[in-house]
């Protein structure tokens, strides 16, 4: 009875919210792009500077409880919808950062609201299980409908997690277990291994390493932090591990003008990878795996050619290292393919692919041979959240129904073309424009200029993100259309014209 009553109350509340979402919108009809969803606003609307007085008051309150210095402003998510984020002061902004690239189909999407309105889904949102020991009856079916329906080629196994860091951390563990199992010849674990691992000593705790790249970001837990090399503030004061760090190519732009130089740069980096693998093997610190992002995101939106990644995959195979592709930020469709590494055209798939952000849940796909050989080896209390799998299944339906992968390609082309035009007009402010799909970025002269541009844009009604030392990154939702790109470009053109 209580469950039925709660279900009715929730459904009623959601229906009211659903009506509010559509009320007051204006349908946009432009030659540039026809809007396909009926819940988007028609443009920014600014009432105060950002952060406004209410945000500043709330920031002061929160800072009394925890360090809140990273907070940009406080949001009104009830009023946010589509590509627009509304803050607590009533400012409505075109959001091209989408919660650090984690909102797949916009704010308050009607399909997700409808999902929440269905009484049969109520239990999934209320009763969060310890999935490793007590999963719900439909858990396997939910995984097939959601994650496994978009699994990368050759990776039939999946384990869910709660965030990107724990996805990579547990992927490292799976790789180390796989490597050690190979070394011991798939024989039984020895008594010495069992005893030595309890005091953090070999052979139970072998001295394996993960090779990573300068500029990479893979999370903030201890193992992940040893492979993160984007900003000093992430790593300062934290003990770390002696794991190899290779240089990531620093390409020159425009690419067509520096073909030879960029090929040489990539060859240099690949040679260093092989040298490090050999060097660490001689130090008795075997490289069990290599981790890399398809586009280094937090570290500055650093790209490399598809050929670079194919050759890197070959090096991993040659030396018996697992090849781990971190798709936490690039996965989910923003590059025009569901997984950014699909652009590489690998003959031999990656061994492990991690995900989070736009995928609603964290976790990793892997080949059969990376499957743990005993229970509790890859484990935590939650192991993700079934409600996120339910939502992801609906997100995937929307992506397919609305052809949002192609949309990311077309909208990304409009955005990138416009940025290249602005670069030609304002070369003293914008350089190295680059991107794939809507996953675009550009460099500014320095950190101070970058931060000032982001602040001005925010006060003009556009939310942008920074990355690396001086880059601006674009991380819009998958429902970001051509006309959103043109709207932004018009606003930003005025900002650059008047920048002092």
The SS3 assignment for 498 reads: coil
DSSP 137: T
| 114 given a catalytic annotation | no
Return the residue matching tokens 């996965």: 331
Selecting among 326, 351, 443, 482, the annotated active-site residue is: 326
Contacts of 399 (CB under 8 A, 6+ apart): 104, 105, 333, 338, 405, 478
β-bridge mates for residue 302, sequence order: 296
| 381 given a catalytic annotation | yes
| 217 given a catalytic annotation | yes
Residues 436 and 335: their CA atoms lie apart, in Å, by 5
Q: Is the dihedral of CA 100, 104, 105, 109 positive or negative?
A: negative
Selecting among 34, 38, 252, 381, the annotated active-site residue is: 381
Tokens of 305: 């050619």
Contact, 246 vs 256, CB < 8 A? no
Sequential DSSP letters for 147-165 = GGGGPPTT--EEEEESSHH
Selecting among 337, 357, 358, 481, the annotated active-site residue is: 357
Contact, 138 vs 325, CB < 8 A? no
Residues 187 and 229: their CA atoms lie apart, in Å, by 37
Residues 168 and 22: their CA atoms lie apart, in Å, by 39
Residues 97 and 88: their CA atoms lie apart, in Å, by 18
Residues 177 and 50: their CA atoms lie apart, in Å, by 49
Contact, 212 vs 243, CB < 8 A? yes
Could you tell me how far CA 481 lies from the centroid of its own chain? 20
| 221 given a catalytic annotation | no
Q: How many CB atoms within 10 Å of residue 86?
A: 20
Residues 109 and 29: their CA atoms lie apart, in Å, by 20
Pairing of strands 362-366, 352-355: antiparallel
Selecting among 73, 172, 217, 480, the annotated active-site residue is: 217
First-to-last alpha carbon distance for the chain, in angstroms, is 65
Could you tell me how far CA 20 lies from the centroid of its own chain? 30
Residues marked as catalytic: 217, 326, 357, 381
């Amino acid at each position: 009875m209580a469950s039925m009553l709660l279900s009715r109350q929730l459904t009623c509340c959601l229906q009211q919210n659903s009506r509010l979402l559509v009320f007051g919108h204006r349908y946009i009809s432009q030659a540039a792009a026809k809007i396909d969803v009926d819940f988007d606003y028609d443009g920014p609307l600014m009432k105060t500077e950002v952060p406004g007085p209410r945000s500043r008051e709330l920031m002061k309150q929160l800072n009394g409880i925890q360090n809140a210095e990273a907070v940009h402003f406080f949001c009104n998510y009830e009023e946010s919808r589509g590509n627009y984020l509304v803050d607590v002061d009533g400012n409505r902004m075109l959001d091209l950062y989408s919660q650090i690239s984690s909102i797949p189909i916009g704010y308050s999407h009607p399909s997700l609201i409808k999902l929440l309105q269905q009484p049969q889904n109520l239990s999934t949102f209320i009763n969060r299980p310890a999935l490793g020991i007590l999963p719900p009856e439909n858990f396997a079916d939910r995984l097939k409908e959601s994650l496994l329906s978009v699994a990368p080629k050759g990776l039939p196994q999946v384990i869910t997690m709660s965030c990107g860091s724990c996805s990579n951390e547990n992927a490292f563990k799976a790789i180390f277990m796989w490597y050690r199992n190979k070394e011991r010849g798939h024989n039984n674990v020895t008594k010495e291994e069992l005893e030595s691992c309890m005091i953090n000593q070999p052979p139970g705790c072998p001295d394996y390493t993960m090779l990573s790249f300068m500029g990479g970001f893979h999370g903030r837990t201890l193992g992940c932090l040893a492979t993160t090399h984007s900003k000093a503030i992430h790593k300062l004061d934290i003990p770390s591990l002696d794991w190899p760090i290779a240089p990531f190519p620093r390409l020159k732009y425009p690419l067509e003008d520096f073909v030879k130089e960029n090929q040489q740069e990539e060859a240099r980096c690949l040679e260093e990878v092989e040298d490090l693998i050999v060097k660490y093997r001689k130090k008795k610190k075997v490289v069990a795996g290599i981790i890399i992002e398809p586009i280094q995101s937090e570290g500055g939106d650093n790209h490399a050619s598809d050929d670079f990644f194919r050759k890197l995959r070959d090096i991993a195979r040659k030396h018996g290292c697992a090849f781990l592709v971190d798709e936490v930020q690039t996965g989910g469709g923003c590059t025009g393919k569901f997984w950014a590494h699909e652009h590489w055209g690998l003959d031999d798939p990656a061994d492990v692919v991690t995900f989070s952000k736009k995928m609603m849940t964290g976790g990793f796909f892997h080949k059969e041979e990376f499957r743990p050989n005993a229970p509790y080896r890859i484990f935590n209390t939650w192991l993700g959240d079934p409600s996120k799998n339910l939502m992801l299944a609906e997100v995937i339906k929307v992506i397919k129904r609305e052809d949002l992968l192609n949309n990311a390609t077309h909208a990304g082309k409009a955005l990138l073309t416009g940025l290249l035009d602005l670069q030609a007009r304002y070369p003293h402010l914008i350089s190295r424009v680059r991107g794939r799909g809507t996953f675009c970025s550009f460099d500014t002269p320095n950190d101070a200029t970058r931060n000032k541009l982001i602040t001005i844009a925010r006060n003009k009604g556009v939310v942008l993100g920074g990355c690396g030392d001086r880059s601006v990154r674009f991380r819009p939702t998958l429902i970001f259309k051509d006309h959103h790109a043109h709207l932004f470009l018009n606003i930003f053109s005025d900002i650059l014209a008047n920048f002092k």
